[in-house]
Amino acid sequence: MCNSTTMDSVHLEHHLNAIFKHAEDFTIETLQGPQCNILIAYFDTLADKKKLHRYVMEALMPVVAEQQNIAISSTLHFKIIQKVDNLQELLLTGSCLIQIEGEHPIYAVDVSIESPRTVEEPENEKVIQGSHEGFVEELRRNVYLIRKTLKTKDLVVKYMKIGDDVQSELCFIYMPQRAEQQVIEEMEQRILNATTSGLRSIGDLEQLIEDSPRSPFPQMLNTERVDRVIALLKQGKVIIFVEGSPACLIAPVHFNDFMRASDDYNSRWMSSMFISGLRWLSIIVAIFLPAFYIAVVAFHFEVLPDELVMPIKTSINEIPFPPLIEAFIMELTIELIREAGLRLPARIGATVSIVGGLVIGDAIVKAGLISTTMIIVVAITAIAAFCIPTHEMSETVRLLRFPFMLLAACLGFVGMSFGIILIWGHLCKLESFGSPYFMIITFEDVKKQVQAFLFGKADPSPRQTKWQRIQQQISAKGWNFLGRKKR
Amino acid sequence: MVVKKDNIHKNQIVYMVIQAQVGVGILSLPYNIAKYANQDSWISTLVAGVIMLLVILIMWLLCKSYPGMMMFDIFKQLTGNKLGKCLIIGYTIYFMLQSSYVLSKYGKIIEGWILERTPHWIVLSLMVLTSAYIVKDSLQSMIRFFMLVTPLLIVLIALSSYALRNANFLYILPVAQNGWMPIFKGSREAIFSMLGCDLVFFLYPYVRASHTQILKSVIRAHLMVTLLYTYLVFISLVYFMSPNDIKRVPEPFIYMIKSYSFRVIERMDLFFISIWIVSVATSFMYLLLLSAKGLAHLFAAPKHVTFLPVICLLTLITSLWLLDSDKLNVVNNYLTVCHYLFQAIIPALLLFISIVRKKTGDKREEQ
Amino acid sequence: MKNATLVQTVTYDLTSKKRLRVGAATPVLNSADSLQNMTLVAEANTPGEARILLNRKASGLLDSSKNKLLLLGEAYAVHDILPFLDIHYRNPRNALDARLAVVKGEALPLIQLRSKSESNVSRYLLNLIQSAEESLLIPKEDIQAIASVIMDPGEDVTLPYIELESSSQLASVKGIALFDKRKYTGFYLNDTQSPLLLLLKGGKPRQNSFSFNFGSPKEEFPQRQIVSFLITKSNRKLKLTVDEHKQIHVALHLKLVLRVIEYPNGDVEADKDKLLREYKAYFTKLTGEVIHQLQRANCDAFGIGRMLMAYHPDVWRGLDKEQYFRQVKFSPNIVIDKIKSGIEH
């Protein structure tokens, strides 16, 4: 279109009306005054009336009345528009356009409604000890939440846009000294090359830019917690925010990152190790326990010790179904209960959980349809799956249970072995933006742990030498480290 | 062209060699050696380890003289294009034969001990498919898998060590009662379970390390495996009496572990076999990889993935035929000859040729 | 698992017609009360044949993966036991930690008895044997362990010896049955000699109680001289020497620490020297009995032959492999290190 410098108010009005002809909330007002008329265009639904009055109407009234020239430099809210392409975008983000009849410059003022959701703890990621802040849907407010905790100049914040028809705004955040350059470039490349008509949510973005969208395992971490994001930023990860989503994407991640909760940062060393170990145990139980039980009962019951054989045999003797069908019925029932629990309003929820527990648990055993041991196995598995801190990994684990059950029912322990080989092989192949996904523990990690144990928690600035670190520990703890008494 | 993803880090060499060497033979190793060496079988493994060092050295010298070239290229370089291609075909067939044998042996043990009624093709194709899945992508995925799986060997060792409770150390004595010839005959059997070093040497240009580092890592890994085998053979010798007792159990370890019973779980041999399957899978994987790379070299294809289906199918059919017609022993004899040929004689000859060439090349330069 | 009939105990007996009678105890599930069991009997030539016959009688498929006890009738055990055990080794599902025992008379009545303490007779018998093992009355032998020993020309196996007291419907462990190579010799050690054999073989004592009477019958209350004691520590050394005449000498040194649990006379400390002397005499006599019995049965329970093979292979080669044990000269030496008197003096 033509430059704004050549467009006058009549043309502007026609131009904007042509673009937004279907939008009935698009308003064009004219302030009529004795000397001149001022054209104001804005979206009724996006503009805050109070701001509109305060910044625009009150500022313009004297101009209209006394024909004072708008002293642009003194009015800080006003901005001169240079290009006509920006008009659409400015209006859609809540600005209002102002043009004086007869003159050419178009001014824009940001009068958008601000009513962000209050910062509260995210539902899925609650912790006992630690910060209870979570992100909100507004992009800029999220960046504010990060900046207010991480007051450092070494924070890179980049805005990008994605989407062909409907654009969404993205924000890239990382700490340049800690994040790897290669990863950053790779991420930027992928976002720029991603073609989509419009993002529905952050999950879409994840599928567009991750390494293997067909893998069942998530390759980017999804979290709403502020403290977790900050800790990960310090570790050198890159964060992506999308406007409209309180969750952010984090890359590159390892398998271990999915098993960490914020509790680990706030608890003591020993208890956090114990709880971490418990979580790893829960992932193993959640994937393998039903399959193990089916393999034992269907194929290899000699694995059970003598005292256990008869009780289990008694409990499964009268059941009409083979163990695989039993397991599938119970697992699917539990998944149904879980899904229903999500959708139920709170008041009915309690009643239905009683129904689920009593009817399904108790009555089905009494009717002789499912054995008691199967109920125990399924219950333990369900609980174990919920122990995993990240929601995405928890869903993956719940999904992976079923193929293992099938393999165990067909081939017993051998089938399970092959299932494990396949899963491990797949995990070894997965990469998250260039770094391997499944290196749980490397030799350097072990060395670091041992050093941390002997010399104290290491979060050293890289400029300190080892000797300085030891000195620091001595003065902090007064240890008789080198045989010299501390005064 | 060496793709970035195919680089092998120097820390990974050890794991590669260990997992390639420890495979299907570990279960019947004591039985095979004790057939010849009776109670001195543990010495046989040590002797075999030492002999293998020679083989490693020969291959390493060969690779060192032609850095940056894959072994297949070295064949062509040293023996001319046509003969080189024949050598590549020979090696490819040798690897495929070995992998069929590994597969059949594995199928036989699974059939004998766990899944008696499952048809062979299911058990074998499961192994082939999972190995092919891991091998089809870059080298790194296979090597990371090897690294991941190595701690399972510790579980294997721990389970076997439990047998020391009922051990009778008198079974080992007296040492070298029947002289050294039986020990050497036993070493022959032990060597066949230690053939895995060629993985590193066939993938030499992909390894990002200096020559001495590679040699050191390979020797270190090989010594670890030798010690492991010696330890395992020793355990079976103190548990089973030879000559009569050990000769009736073709798979001594499973027998040993079968008789344990803990409070929570019995029949530990099922777990042992499940873990052992992973070791078999790793050895099978490396054989698949090398055969695929051989074929890829033959047809000058950039990736080995294209040949994997063919190789998998051929291996599967061969091993099914071997299992059903019970010709394992026959194949074993052929393989023995092939081992001598391909692992020792040909590399030695090639080394000899390369030394001679270098000397004549020097002489020509002097002139 | 649902269709399997678990066999928990198997008995082997030899009938008068030299056929094998095999009994299998299988548990019967009664959801009302605790487990009962049902006995299946079949007569055949070998265990494999018998198994086929038993399968026809059982309601589900016979599964011997939980077969933890094998009872050998005396008449059967005096013949070669190894061939008929082959089926237990060959089947991959079999439990190789099954216990074996020799039964006085016929083995079949043992699994047909109705015990009052436990309704499952297999459980009862297995507990009986395991508790006897715990008190070091019988050696802990399972099928896998005895396979090696039976095949060893230099060692012989010893198995628990059980008897059924038909009057009280109870089974009791009588001692250790002595085998010569693969046959039961008919000789056994009773319940005082058995723990001593196990101690002489190097086992660690497990609160074995003994009591003996060292008083003379002339006294008024001869019972007053009975003292009951436990062995708390035992240390054994075995030295094998061969002299120029190819005569094998075995010196057995046993050092014991005892603890008195009952001494009607009262004062242990005062009578300590007397007690030491009496104990030493008692144990030496008992050891002599044990060794005499072993040599009568030609049962090399110590593994002397294996030691000869290991340390003196040339001597071993020149020996008569069948009768060498009878020519071994034992010199036992029992030393009582300490006598603890308990909380009373």
- With CA atoms as reference, the chain C residue closest to A315 would be C31
Domain ranges across chain C: 1-190, 192-345
Taking CB atoms and an 8 Å limit, are C310 and B170 in contact across chains?
yes
Selected residues 245-274 of chain B with any CB under 8 Å from a CB in chain C? 245, 248, 255, 258-261, 266-267
pLDDT of residue B4: 58
The whole-angstrom distance between C61's CA and the closest CA on chain A is 14
Taking CB atoms and an 8 Å limit, are B261 and A305 in contact across chains?
yes
Taking CB atoms and an 8 Å limit, are C307 and B261 in contact across chains?
no
Name residues of chain A where pLDDT drops below 50. 1-4, 72-74, 458, 460, 480-481, 483-487
Check pLDDT > 50 for residue B37. yes
- With CA atoms as reference, the chain A residue closest to C32 would be A314
Check pLDDT > 50 for residue C66. yes
Taking CB atoms and an 8 Å limit, are C31 and A314 in contact across chains?
yes
B135 three-class SS: helix
- Distance CA(A390)–CA(A170), nearest Å, equals 23
For helices A269-298 and A323-343, angle between their N-to-C axes, nearest 10 degrees = 140
Give percent of chain B above pLDDT 70: 98
Q: Does C92 contact chain A (CB < 8 Å)?
A: no
The whole-angstrom distance between B116's CA and the closest CA on chain C is 9
**CA distances in angstroms from B175 to B46, B161, B169, B179, C124, listed in the order given:** 14, 22, 12, 9, 46
* Residue B363, domain member (yes or no): no
- With CA atoms as reference, the chain B residue closest to A411 would be B115
Helix, strand and coil content of chain A, in percent to the nearest 5, comes to: 55, 15, 35
Taking CB atoms and an 8 Å limit, are B264 and A305 in contact across chains?
yes
Which residues from A are below 8 Å from C28, CB to CB? none
Q: Does A309 contact chain C (CB < 8 Å)?
A: yes
- With CA atoms as reference, the chain A residue closest to C30 would be A314
The whole-angstrom distance between C310's CA and the closest CA on chain B is 5
Which residues from B are below 8 Å from C65, CB to CB? 267
R_g of chain C, CA atoms, integer Å: 23
Check pLDDT > 90 for residue C150. no
Quote the mean pLDDT of chain B: 85
Taking CB atoms and an 8 Å limit, are B140 and A411 in contact across chains?
no
Q: Do C98 and C69 form a contact (C-beta atoms < 8 A)?
A: yes
Cβ neighbours of residue B359 closer than 8 Å, sequence gap 6 or more: none
pLDDT of residue C215: 57
Residues C73-79: what's their mean pLDDT? Answer: 87
Q: How confident is the model at residue C325 (pLDDT cuts 50, 70, 90)?
A: confident
Q: Does C95 contact chain A (CB < 8 Å)?
A: yes
- With CA atoms as reference, the chain C residue closest to A316 would be C2
pLDDT of residue A287: 92
Q: Count Cβ neighbours within 10 Å for each residue of B49-74 and write b for 16 or more, e otherwise.
A: bebbbebbebbbbbbebbeeebbbeb
Which residues from B are below 8 Å from C96, CB to CB? 255, 258-259
Q: How confident is the model at residue B106 (pLDDT cuts 50, 70, 90)?
A: very high
Longest CA–CA span in chain B (Å) reads: 80
Cβ neighbours of residue C147 closer than 8 Å, sequence gap 6 or more: B245, C85, C89
A–C interface: beta-carbon pairs under 8 A: 29
pLDDT of residue A38: 79
- With CA atoms as reference, the chain A residue closest to B125 would be A418
Instruction: Give the CATH number, domain containing residue B101.
Output: 1.20.1740.10
Which residues from C are below 8 Å from B245, CB to CB? 147-148, 151-152
Taking CB atoms and an 8 Å limit, are A314 and C6 in contact across chains?
no
Q: Do C283 and C129 form a contact (C-beta atoms < 8 A)?
A: no
- Distance CA(A475)–CA(A484), nearest Å, equals 12
Which residues from C are below 8 Å from A298, CB to CB? 1
Mutation target to probe the C interface, by most C beta carbons within 10 A, among A293, A300, A301 is A301
* Residue B181, domain member (yes or no): yes
Q: Of A129 and B21, which is predicted with more confidence? A: B21
pLDDT of residue A73: 39
Check pLDDT > 50 for residue B12. yes
The whole-angstrom distance between B348's CA and the closest CA on chain C is 42
Taking CB atoms and an 8 Å limit, are A305 and B263 in contact across chains?
yes
Q: What is the DSSP string of A228-266?
A: HHHHHHHHT-EEEEETT-S-EEEES--GGGGG--HHHHH
Extended strands (E) in chain B: 8-9, 207-208
Taking CB atoms and an 8 Å limit, are C31 and A316 in contact across chains?
no
Q: What is the DSSP string of A226-238?
A: HHHHHHHHHHT-E
Task: Quick: pLDDT tens for B306-344.
Answer: 888 888 999 999 998 888 887 788 888 888 888 888 888
Query: Which range of residues forms the domain containing residue B240?
Result: 4-356
Residue from B315, B26, B284, B344 nearest B142 by CA: B284
- With CA atoms as reference, the chain C residue closest to B257 would be C96
pLDDT of residue A199: 80
pLDDT of residue B3: 45
pLDDT of residue B242: 66
Taking CB atoms and an 8 Å limit, are B259 and C145 in contact across chains?
yes
Q: Do A248 and A221 form a contact (C-beta atoms < 8 A)?
A: no
By Cβ distance, the residue of B116, B177, B245 closest to C148 is B245
Taking CB atoms and an 8 Å limit, are B259 and C142 in contact across chains?
yes
* Residue B364, domain member (yes or no): no
Q: Do C154 and C306 form a contact (C-beta atoms < 8 A)?
A: yes
- With CA atoms as reference, the chain B residue closest to C149 would be B241
A–B interface: beta-carbon pairs under 8 A: 81
pLDDT of residue A486: 45
Taking CB atoms and an 8 Å limit, are C307 and B241 in contact across chains?
no
Q: Do A46 and A113 form a contact (C-beta atoms < 8 A)?
A: yes
Q: Decide yes or no: CATH 3.40.50.10490 for domain C192-345.
A: no
**A interface residues, B as partner, C-beta within 8 Å:** 300, 302-306, 411-418, 420-422, 424-426, 428-429, 436, 438-439, 443
By Cβ distance, the residue of B142, B149, B274 closest to A416 is B274
| ipTM value for the complex | 0.89
Task: Quick: pLDDT tens for C182-219.
Answer: 888 888 888 888 888 888 888 777 766 776 666 555 55
- Residue C194, CB-side half-sphere exposure with 13 Å CA sphere: 27
By Cβ distance, the residue of C1, C65, C93 closest to A313 is C1
Which residues from A are below 8 Å from B281, CB to CB? 421
- Distance CA(A410)–CA(A295), nearest Å, equals 8
The whole-angstrom distance between A362's CA and the closest CA on chain C is 18
Q: Which of B206-220, B256-270, C128-142 has the lowest mean pLDDT?
A: B256-270
Mutation target to probe the C interface, by most C beta carbons within 10 A, among B108, B170, B235, B247 is B170
Q: How far is CA B177 from the centre of its chain?
A: 30
Q: Of A89 and C333, which is predicted with more confidence? A: C333
pLDDT of residue B83: 86
Taking CB atoms and an 8 Å limit, are A306 and C68 in contact across chains?
yes
Task: Quick: pLDDT tens for B130-155.
Answer: 999 999 888 888 888 998 888 888 88
- With CA atoms as reference, the chain A residue closest to B138 would be A429
**C interface residues, B as partner, C-beta within 8 Å:** 65, 89, 92, 95-97, 142-145, 147-148, 151-152, 303, 306-307, 309-311, 313
Taking CB atoms and an 8 Å limit, are A301 and C29 in contact across chains?
no
Mutation target to probe the B interface, by most B beta carbons within 10 A, among A429, A433, A441, A447 is A429
Neighbours of B245 (CB within 10 A): 20
Tell me whether residue A429 is exposed, middle or buried, using C-beta atoms within 10 angstroms of its C-beta: 0 to 12, 13 to 18, 19 or more.
buried
Evaluated on CA atoms C70, C72, C73, C76, the torsion sign reads positive
Q: Does B168 contact chain C (CB < 8 Å)?
A: yes
Total structural domains in chain B? 1
* Residue B300, domain member (yes or no): yes
Taking CB atoms and an 8 Å limit, are B174 and C92 in contact across chains?
no
pLDDT of residue C342: 72
